[in-house]
Amino acid sequence: MADASEPVFKFSAISFGLGICVAIDVSTLTTAVTLYRRAGRSIYYILLGIIAVAHILDLAIGFAGDAHTKDSALLQALALLFAWVGGCGFVGLNMARFHSVGMIQMPTLTKALLVLTGISILLCTANNAMFAYTFITYGANGEEQLPLVDVLFSAWSVYDSLVNLGISLGFIAVLRSIGGKSGHELRKNFHELLGNVRWVLGLECALMIAANVIVQAADFDPQWVTVYIAESIRMRFFCYFLLTLSRMLKKKVKASYAQPIASHMHLGGGGGPSHLHDVPLSVIHIHGGAGEKQQPSGLRGTTAVPATGTTNSSSMGELHTSSDHVGVF
């Protein structure tokens, strides 16, 4: 990496790559904050923002400690803490988001994915513990003494990508099931948006796998910047999934959709690091005339029901999802 005191400009591929990472992470953080402010102040978006910040700190502290000194070894160990938050947090958040709806629709698949997620978190924890051991024992570049830890990290990263892909595909299956049972599309281009999400999921998974294969050639990317960039892009795609879901369920849907949505998308579960992420329906309004009262809907939010028990014929009992109440936590 070029010294800051160089009298002339020197291009640094590492600095350039890290700049890309930070720019993407800041974009993700900004989006998460925006969604939090406009989507019912969901804790889900706070956690996503925390993961983005952890990734930035992992980069900043880790590369600041890239030297064979005791202090640098401590900085690397500190960076591992933020790396662990990002690694375990991402898959954990993704699984918790799916668990609340998956246990109702696909309990067997959800339990299997829950086990796979637990394995991923354990492997991530073990990998970070091994890295910490090498830093404490051999210094900031201690992994050079035990190259196996880099291989194990890549193996976990690929496995984690596949688990996240499985969770997200499971969520897509839930949405397709709801759309099929309703007999209609929840929105005119509902299936088109689902198709967009599918190819983005495939791209994201392929990108993570390719990045971990590339860094095995140490001379090509000795600082593993490719992996950092892939991780940043993955988080940004996560925001894209949230926004896509918001669009999918944003406009009017017929009253007959209320029961399938409420019964299959009940979100009483917890939160938790993906991808097709929480169904962005926190408030549904059934317009039935002047006299309306608020009643629990089975979703996080409320359903407005006519006090008289009748529905205004002009509204045809249409449901509206509020774009200002997107979220599930």
- Please indicate, yes or no, if residue 6 is contained in any of the structural domains: no
Give residue-wise pLDDT tens across range 47-79.
989 999 999 999 888 877 665 556 677 888 888
**What is the average pLDDT score of the chain?**
72
Measured in whole angstroms, the distance separating CA 56 from the mean position of its chain's CA atoms is 16
**Domain final residue, candidates 248, 269, 299:** 248
**302-306 and 284-286 strand pairing:** parallel
Last residue of a domain, one of 199, 215, 248: 248
Q: 34 is written with which tokens?
A: 């925006």
Range 299-316 average pLDDT: 38
Crossing angle of helices 70-105 and 107-138, in 10° steps, is 180
**How much is the average pLDDT of 142-165?**
85
Domain coverage including residue 192: 13-248
pLDDT digits (tens, 9 = 90+) for 76-106: 888 899 999 999 999 998 898 888 778 888 8
Query: Is residue 126 predicted with pLDDT exceeding 90?
Result: yes
Q: Same structural domain for residues 36 and 171?
A: yes
| pLDDT tens readout for residues 168-224 | 888 888 877 766 655 444 566 777 777 888 888 888 888 898 988 888 877 788 788
Name which of 23-27, 64-68, 159-163, 316-320 the model is least confident about: 316-320
- Residue 31's contacts (CB-CB under 8 Å, 6 or more residues apart) are 236, 239, 243
**290/238 same-domain check:** no
How many CA atoms does the CB half-sphere of 84 hold within 13 Å? 18
Look at residue 299 and tell me if it is in a domain: yes
Q: Does 292 lie in the same domain as 144?
A: no
Biggest CA-to-CA distance, the chain: 79
CB 69 within 8 A of CB 139: yes
Query: 175 and 281, same structural domain?
Result: no
Kindly state whether residues 199 and 218 are assigned to the same domain.
Answer: yes
Q: Is the confidence at residue 163, as pLDDT, over 50?
A: yes
| Residue 238 to residue 241: CA distance in whole angstroms | 5
Q: How many domains does the chain have?
A: 2
- Residue 240: give its domain's CATH number: 1.20.1070
- How many Cα atoms are found within 13 Å in the side-chain-facing hemisphere of 51? 28
